[in-house]
A and B are shown apart, each in its own frame.
Chain A
Amino acid sequence: GEDVEQSLFLSVREGDSSVINCTYTDSSSTYLYWYKQEPGAGLQLLTYIFSNMDMKQDQRLTVLLNKKDKHLSLRIADTQTGDSAIYFCAEDGGYQKVTFGIGTKLQVIP
């Protein structure tokens, strides 16, 4: 079945850039998502990218997609303490099914 993998933890200093990586296995993915979960809250969609795109930029967020290697990354520029959260990568394999990664906990050090 589909599988999405991410590293569990990332620590960065405030003001630096954060890069969260994700790999997936389903080559038929149409959409790939990044979600953010703050403590005690549900998932909130941060951004998404269509599978025919290589890059998408939205303010401080940059999503890079390497479809050949099935690798997705999320770059957060000028990381702030408010960015501390868990970030989930997810892929839409069609048939309305979304597969999530386990989540990467981002810790921002002041």
Chain B
Amino acid sequence: GAVVSQHPSWVICKSGTSVKIECRSLDFQATTMFWYRQFPKQSLMLMATSNEGSKATYEQGVEKDKFLINHASLTLSTLTVTSAHPEDSSFYICSAQRRLAGGNEQFFGPGTRLTVL
């Protein structure tokens, strides 16, 4: 199947700093990428839908100025957590959608564990 990578796989940062997470589709073009966040012992929460070349669509309750998403190319989307605080510590996972004639396929990245001290 298609491969989606995330970088970094884990990051520790100080409170107040910004962290950028990259999501790449390695062998296909993804017109749409999704960003999810997982809270401890809870399910994945969809944060935003990112379409190449346009502004991301954020889910209700997700601060767009806090979580900046850029989908600059068909193979790369970035999530920047600005002025990170300890409550932003979480597991962030992206998925990339590949459009096919019979429908869309979605592939998940391995996730990025963010710890804010």
Q: Which residues of A are at the interface with B, using a C-beta cutoff of 8 A?
A: 30-31, 33, 35, 37, 39-45, 48, 86, 90, 92, 95-98, 100, 102-103, 105
Contacts and interface: CB of A to CB of B under 8 A. Distances in A.
A96 B106 contact: no
Contacts of B46: 42-44
B49 A96 contact: no
A96 B43 contact: no
Contact of B40 (A35, A44, A96): A96
A35 B113 contact: no
A105 B106 contact: no
Contacts of B95: 42-43
Contacts of A40: 32, 104
A34 to B, nearest CB: 10
| Interface of A: prevailing SS | strand
Interface string B74-110: 0000000000000000110101000000011110100
B1 interface: yes
B104 A43 contact: no
A45 B44 CA distance: 8
Contacts of B40: 96
Given A96-B90, A96-B91, A43 B36 contact: yes
B44 A35 contact: yes
Contact of B44 (A39, A95, A98): A98
A36 B32 CA distance: 17
